[in-house]
Amino acid sequence: MCGIVLSYASLYAQETVNYKLEFTSNWEAHGPLPGANAHFTDLVVATHNNNVTFLEMGQLASPGVTSVAELGTTGTFVNEVNAQIPNNAYNVTVGPDLFFNGTRRDITIESLEVNSDFPLVTLASMIAPSPDWMIAVNSLSLQDNGGDWISEITMDLYAYDAGTRSNTTYNLGGPRTSPAEGITRITNNDTPINPNLKIGTLKLTIDESTLNVGDFDLSEYVDLDFFPNPAKETVRVFNIENSNLKTVEIFNITGSLVKTALASTTDTSLDIDIANLSQGLYLMKFTTSNGKTQTKRLTVTK
Residue length of the chain: 302
3-state secondary structure the chain: CCCCCCCCCCCCCCCEEEEEEEEEECHHHHCCCCCCCCEECCCEEEEECCCCCCCCECCCCCHHHHHHHHHCCCHHHHHHHHCCCCCCEEEEEECCCEECCCCCCEEEEEEEEEECCECEEEEEEEEECCCCEEEEEEEEECECCCCCECCEEEEEECCEECCCECCCCCCCCCCECCCCCCEEECCCCCCCCCCCCCCEEEEEEECHHHCCHHHCCHHHCCCCEEECCCECCEEEEECCCCCCEEEEEEEECCCCEEEEEECCCCCCEEEEECCCCCCEEEEEEEEECCCCEEEEEEEECC
Phi, psi angles (nearest 5°) of residue 16: -135, 135
Q: Cα–Cα distances in Å, from 283 out to 67, 78, 251?
A: 38, 34, 5
- The fraction of the chain above a pLDDT of 70, given in percent, is 90
> Residue 100 pLDDT > 60, yes or no?
yes
pLDDT digits (tens, 9 = 90+) for 41-65: 999 999 999 999 999 999 999 999 9
pLDDT digits (tens, 9 = 90+) for 218-273: 344 566 788 898 999 999 998 788 788 899 999 886 678 899 999 987 788 899 99
Residues 175, 166: contact at Cβ < 8 Å? yes
pLDDT digits (tens, 9 = 90+) for 165-190: 999 999 999 999 999 999 999 999 99
Q: Which residues 6+ apart lie within 8 Å of 24 measured at CB?
A: 105, 106, 200, 201, 203
pLDDT digits (tens, 9 = 90+) for 135-146: 999 999 998 877
Q: Which residue has the higher pLDDT, 191 or 208?
A: 191
pLDDT digits (tens, 9 = 90+) for 76-95: 999 999 999 999 999 999 99
The confidence score (pLDDT) of residue 73 equals: 97
> Residue 217 pLDDT > 60, yes or no?
no
List the domains of the chain with CATH numbers: 16-210 (2.60.40.2130), 218-300 (2.60.40.3080)
The confidence score (pLDDT) of residue 254 equals: 67
* Mean of per-residue pLDDT scores for the chain: 87
Distance (Å, whole) CA 53 – CA 68? 16
pLDDT digits (tens, 9 = 90+) for 32-41: 999 889 999 9
Closest CA to 259 of 247, 246, 241: 247
pTM of the predicted structure, to 2 decimals = 0.69
Distance (Å, whole) CA 19 – CA 12? 14
